[in-house]
Amino acid sequence: MSSNVGGIGAAGNTGRNAGVEKRPDYITVKKNENLTIIAKRYGMSKAEFVKWTGLKGVIRVGQKIKLPVDTVEQGKGIYALARKYGMTMAEFCNMNNISDPQNYSAKAGEVFYVRSANQKVVPKAKPKHAEKTESKPVQSRGTNSDVESSGVAAGAAVGAAVGVVAANKQKWGSSYTPQEIAEKLFDLSKQYYGAVGKPDFDALLKEINPKNASAVLKAYKENPKNENQESLIYTLATEIRSSKQSRKDAIMQVYDVLAKEKSASSEKREEFKTELDKQFDKLIGMVNTEKLDNIINGIMGDEEEPAGVSGSSTSIRFDQQKSEKGDNTKVIVPGSKYPQTVSTLRSGAIKAAKEEALQKFKSYCAAHGIKYDPKLLDTAPLDRLPKPIIDSQGNIVPYVSGLMKPTGKPNGKVIILNSGHGGYHRLAGNFDVGSYNFVKKKNGKYAPHLEYEKVQPYVNEMADKLRAEGYSVIITQGEMHSFTRTKALTNLIKDLEAGKAGDGHKYSEKDIAFVSFHADSSPKQDDENDESSVCYDPSDSRNKAFADVLNRNLNNYEGTWVKSKTAERKKYIGADGKEHSNRVGTLVECLGQIPAVLLETAHINGVKGRQNLDSSKFREQFLDSTLLGLNEYFFGKN
């Protein structure tokens, strides 16, 4: 349809309506106008315009021609309006000159052009033609054979579409089926960060009602695109670029319609809301929706289903391993005096972590002039330590995801991402949280700031960006020695080279790289260094070349406030007479096989560094810069 039609294509319109679009619901025939001229203004042929408007008989100067219009219902969006008339979004947006439907928020009383009962297909945009047109009114009759024959077919097609919508509304309380709602919500959530609060995402959420709530929630997890059976509650909670309040409101909205469908008690609602507030009031760590999903599953009568997934399609999910090891499964821990199970090992790790936190907090208090009181330390974050991952023999092993295929056009490269720390020691059984800092809460208590939790969002978002760019991705995480003793990375690289990684493709060492994410720390109690760093082992020349490219892109990204440097791994003999290294991580296992770097994102024990570490803007700049560096390293471009 023409972009400069009277009312349809207002000057300067970008598809993000700053004000109400002026789409008239009728036009007045002017002198020297005929149907051909009028239709062209709307990007239609004369026949199409007649079918759209339902015109019959002749037109005359001064006649008002009614145009098919409607407005968006309260609380809904343009997706719902398009569906009401059996239109695709492409048809609807073309007819209404909307170029960015994801961000288009209908204003109160805004008029939109829609299909009519006489129309089969909304015409596509057509440029104005330069040919001459008639200069005097032409009588046009709706009895022309071409109009009549196509009109019959059109009416049947539209009638069928309207019938489907009516049937859906009667059965499901929505013009969409539960599967359609689930699929559209999933697609929108993966299309961009911060989906909650977007007009059409919110409009789709409002399509969930007491007739379809449980069906939508089930369809969401069963969606074939939702490979890890991510729950809708988790999706809403982890749209971290949406405001906290909008995410909480969305989750409660879903709960309330489900509770109404299932006649859940007010006490159950209070239990759900209390857990929701608890999760969103945490100062550190990602929202964990396991308990929220358990409540949802209980209301739906699906207690036998897995607990709520605590991760996105590319996230690290210790408690959701397919091995399905129960709490009473035996675990081999050579350094333990007693037989261990999954449950006892985790309990012991939490207890040890809390004791370590108290000792570190005592030092923190002394350095900052705070009178030490163990009651000032909130150790609740340490209750979130995940269960250990164990193999079929009962040994502790690191987390290694399957090969995640590209979502964009494949480029033939694989990035092994590592989320620093966050695993159980294979021999001792303790949990490695990484570096510490402490943050004062509003209630006066201090909560530990844990490295392994803070870098996980970097890894998850990096994986999404890489896959969209065409890379295949594997995510790993665990305590350093569990990698070296199991040769997890060595075996993974061999599988990639042998074509046994999941996609049947054989990758050469030139196609694979390893990137480990960390949050740096300093011996100082309050380090103000806000620099990032790219660490590498100099024993392989590829590592330095890889580090230099990434470091250059981290510093040169337009508008970035990331400041980075390269840091070479150095060995030294410690007081114990043994050889140590200033930068070990999991790099040692990659030596001589593939290029590998360790990225220190920000300093966890400094005010500036901590602010950067938690900033979504900083994270975006850091990850986008890293992606440009990877593109330059592999393809000589950025």
Long-range contacts at 173-176 (CB < 8 A, ≥ 24 apart):
173/209, 173/210, 173/211, 173/212, 174/207, 174/208, 174/209, 174/211, 174/212, 175/80, 175/83, 175/84, 175/207, 176/83, 176/204, 176/207
Predicted confidence at residue 345, as pLDDT, reads: 94
Lowest-confidence pick of 198-202, 248-252, 494-498, 562-566: 198-202
Predicted confidence at residue 21, as pLDDT, reads: 59
* Strands 340-341, 330-331: pairing kind: antiparallel
Predicted confidence at residue 5, as pLDDT, reads: 33
Alpha-carbon gap, residue 293 to 272, rounded angstroms: 9
Predicted confidence at residue 125, as pLDDT, reads: 41
Give the residue, 194 or 381, on which the prediction is more confident. 381
Tens-digit pLDDT profile for residues 227-242? 667 889 988 987 767 8
Lowest-confidence pick of 13-17, 179-183, 420-424, 486-490: 13-17
Give Cβ neighbours of residue 250 (< 8 Å, ≥ 6 apart): 196, 202, 205, 236
Predicted confidence at residue 303, as pLDDT, reads: 36
> Where does the pLDDT of residue 310 fall: very low under 50, low under 70, confident under 90, or very high at 90 and above?
very low
Pick the CATH number of 396-635 from 2.10.260.10, 3.10.180.10, 3.40.630.40, 3.30.450.40: 3.40.630.40
Predicted confidence at residue 46, as pLDDT, reads: 85
Predicted confidence at residue 150, as pLDDT, reads: 37
Residue carrying the six token digits 């939490």: 350
Predicted confidence at residue 193, as pLDDT, reads: 58
Predicted confidence at residue 439, as pLDDT, reads: 87
Mean pLDDT in residue range 604-625: 86
pLDDT at residue 116 tops 60: yes
> Where does the pLDDT of residue 498 fall: very low under 50, low under 70, confident under 90, or very high at 90 and above?
very high
pLDDT at residue 350 tops 90: yes
pLDDT at residue 432 tops 90: yes
Tens-digit pLDDT profile for residues 42-79? 778 888 888 888 888 788 888 999 999 888 877 677 87
Q: What residues form DSSP beta bridges with 440?
A: 446
Q: Which amino acid is at 460?
A: N
pLDDT at residue 426 tops 50: yes
Mean pLDDT in residue range 320-334: 72
Query: What is the pTM for the complete model shown?
Result: 0.54
Predicted confidence at residue 637, as pLDDT, reads: 66
Give the residue, 629 or 144, on which the prediction is more confident. 629
Predicted confidence at residue 307, as pLDDT, reads: 31
Alpha-carbon gap, residue 450 to 614, rounded angstroms: 12
Lowest-confidence pick of 86-100, 225-239, 313-327: 313-327
Predicted confidence at residue 572, as pLDDT, reads: 64
Mean pLDDT in residue range 364-375: 92
Give the residue, 340 or 587, on which the prediction is more confident. 340
Task: Give the rounded distance of the alpha carbon of 600 from its chain centre.
Answer: 23
> Where does the pLDDT of residue 593 fall: very low under 50, low under 70, confident under 90, or very high at 90 and above?
very high
Residue carrying the six token digits 């489907």: 164
Tokens for 122?
A: 């909304």
Predicted confidence at residue 119, as pLDDT, reads: 53
572 exposed, middle or buried (CB, 10 Å; 0-12, 13-18, 19+)? exposed
pLDDT at residue 87 tops 60: yes
pLDDT at residue 11 tops 70: no
| Terminal C-alpha separation, the chain | 37
pLDDT at residue 519 tops 60: yes
Among 98-102, 114-118, 255-259, top mean pLDDT goes to 255-259
Among 112-121, 192-201, 471-480, top mean pLDDT goes to 471-480
CA contacts within 13 A on the Cβ side of 197:
14
Predicted confidence at residue 282, as pLDDT, reads: 63
pLDDT at residue 269 tops 60: yes
pLDDT at residue 122 tops 50: no
Residue carrying the six token digits 């104005």: 128
DSSP per-residue letters across 362-385: HHHHHHTTPPP-GGGB--GGGGGP
Answer for the pair 122, 87: CB distance below 8 angstroms, yes or no: yes
324: how many CB neighbours lie within 10 A of its CB?
8
User: What are the b/e assignments for 334-344, b being 16+ CB within 10 Å?
Assistant: eeeeeebbbeb
CA distances (Å), 104 to each of 113, 232, 283, 430, 536, in order? 15, 23, 33, 51, 46
pLDDT at residue 155 tops 80: no
Alpha-carbon gap, residue 438 to 362, rounded angstroms: 11
Identify the sign of the CA torsion 455, 460, 465, 471.
positive
Give the residue, 24 or 193, on which the prediction is more confident. 24
Tokens for 26?
A: 């009728």
Predicted confidence at residue 313, as pLDDT, reads: 44
Lowest-confidence pick of 290-299, 361-370, 387-396, 448-457: 290-299
Domain boundaries, the chain: 26-172, 178-313, 396-635
Mean pLDDT in residue range 406-431: 92
Tokens for 6?
A: 């009277």
632 exposed, middle or buried (CB, 10 Å; 0-12, 13-18, 19+)? middle
Q: What residues form DSSP beta bridges with 69?
A: 113
Q: With CA atoms as reference, report the closest residue to 613 among 485, 484, 437.
A: 437
Q: Tell me what the pLDDT averaged over the chain comes to.
A: 80
